[in-house]
Amino acid sequence: MHTLLITGPGGAGRTTVAAATALAAARQGRRVLLLSGDPGAPDDRLVELLGPTTGPVAEVVPGLRAVPVAHGIRAARIDSGEEFRAELVTLQERGASLLGMLGGRPLGAEELTELPGAEQFALLRALRRAASAPGVDLLIVDMPPLHQAITTLALPAELRRYLARLLPAQRQAARALRPVLAQLAGVPMPAQWLYDAAARWDEELAAVEAVVESPATELRLVAEPGPASDDALRTGRLGLALHRLPVASLVANRMVPQDSADPWVADLAARQREHADRWAAELTVVPLAHLGRDPRDLRDLTLLTDTDTEAVAPREAAVYRRAWAVEDRLAEDGVLVWVVPLPGARKSDLDLIRRGDELLLTAGPYRRIVSLPSALRRCTVTGAALTDGELRVRFTPDPQLWPREH
């Protein structure tokens, strides 16, 4: 299954582009599932654009329901509040013995209100479920705005790292003793419950991470050409590159006609084209016209996609995650160079810290902690330079750790 995640700066028209992309793909005969993960979008926006509905709401996979709309597209929306309540009730049931031992009283589902961050977890769970939906060729996800989308997609890997650090796997070897201790104490041991819960969380996070990092998953950015979008895209692309999230294309939305007799409109069109041409030097740019109003229904979407359906419809995933290369320059300069692509980066954006076998990389507002390749763990960091959108980190072999033959 090809998964296309659509995001961009706030107000760029992500939901409209997601609906237009789904329509163009469905008209080519692809079986499309459209998932709305944007908490700021109105509940019925996708159905309003692609409607009317052609059947009742039905479960696509357990825990995910969708409604059929135009051209066989199925549209699903995430209810993060319902997801949060169900998850917490399940967690309480699993830990009922522990709660009883501590004298706690479980909360009823009707008492629970959604906490900050619940939307991100609900989106990730829905993404995992949707990725296994039968009878779907293309999964399109209307993501939150760009910064929030990046932090959400980076969350599974980060949380798994936290779990591994706080509850290391080797500590679980003591599990065999816990049933004996539990019998002596007369109650389940809290540590056992904690490790069991951590194992379940890690398994689910690993499944989500597999979807996010799949070669069949890529992003489509949406932006209205202009100076504000330039800044937002530069910063956002830094975060995407840092987390190795590939961009398939960029939709230049709300492009005004270039042949207008109105001088103001003609000038705006020229400035939009200048920005779009600059983006096209690095990305595949798909222009979408400005209708003079926000698209309201299927007819408006059809007008947008009729101009170039082939361009609007996503191709099969062709942008793959490129591993960060290690250049062997031992013979020439006595160093190994780790090359980290960071398009658009400025020196002031970047920071790096070596800590044990990890490197803490900062690019603008984004940070990622990465494990060093085995060869670099036996080296010391001796410098770094930013050249043509690439951070080149130099490592010098440590004589005490490096094999003698080298």
Does the domain at 326-397 match CATH 2.70.98.10? Answer given as: no
Question: What CA–CA distance (Å, rounded) separates 71 from 68?
Answer: 9
Task: Give the three-class secondary structure for 371.
Answer: strand
Domain layout of the chain by residue ranges: 2-82+109-312, 326-397
CATH of 2-82+109-312, one of 3.40.50.300, 3.30.420.40, 3.50.30.10, 3.20.20.70: 3.40.50.300
pLDDT tops 90 at residue 397: yes
Q: Indicate the pLDDT class of residue 107, thresholds 50, 70 and 90.
A: low
Q: Residue 9 and residue 231: Cα distance in Å, rounded?
A: 10
Residue type for position 239: G
How, if at all, do strands 379-387 and 390-397 pair?
Answer: antiparallel
Secondary structure of residue 317 in the 3-state scheme: coil
Task: Write down the pTM of the prediction.
Answer: 0.86
Say if CB 376 and CB 321 are below 8 A apart.
no
Higher pLDDT, 241 or 121: 241
Please name the amino acid found at residue 333. D
Please tell me the total number of residues recorded for the chain in this structure.
406
Q: Which two tokens stand for residue 152?
A: 């959400």
Q: pLDDT tens across 61-80, in order?
A: 888 889 999 999 999 888 76
H or E element: which one contains 381?
strand 379-387
Are 22 and 140 in contact, with CB atoms under 8 Å apart?
yes
Query: Which of 274, 176, 260, 194 shows the shortest CA–CA distance to 226?
Result: 274
Q: How many CB atoms lie within 10 A of CB 4?
A: 24
Rounded to 10 degrees, what is the CA torsion of 399, 400, 402, 405? 70
Tell me the pLDDT tens digit for each residue of 3-43. 999 999 999 999 999 999 999 999 999 999 999 876 655 55
Distance CA 399, CA 375 (A): 13
In sequence order, what are the beta bridge partners of 367?
362
Q: Which of 285, 263, 264 is nearest to 274 (CA)?
A: 285
Instruction: Report which secondary-structure segment, H or E, holds 98.
Output: helix 96-102
SS (H, E, C) 24-78: HHHHCCCCEEEEECCCCCCCCHHHHHHCCCCCCCEEEECCEEEEECHHHCEEEEC
What does the alpha-carbon distance between residue 63 and residue 86 come to, in Å, rounded to a whole number? 10
Residue type, 14: R
Q: Which two tokens stand for residue 206?
A: 């690993």
For residue 299, CA distances in Å to 51, 53, 70, 292 come to 10, 15, 11, 14
Q: Quick check: do 2-82+109-312 and 326-397 share a fold?
A: no
Q: Is the pLDDT of residue 171 over 70?
A: no
Mean pLDDT on 289-314: 89
Task: Output the pLDDT for position 64.
Answer: 87
pLDDT exceeds 90 at position 308: no
Quote the tokens at residue 124.
């990730």
**Percent of the chain scored above 90 by pLDDT?**
54
Strands of 366-371's sheet, edge to edge?
Answer: 350-355, 358-363, 366-371
Between the alpha carbon of residue 330 and those of residues 238, 358, 359, the distances in Å are 29, 22, 21
Q: Residue 362 is encoded by which pair of tokens?
A: 């900062």
Identify the three-state secondary structure at position 311: helix
H or E element in which residue 377 lies = helix 374-377
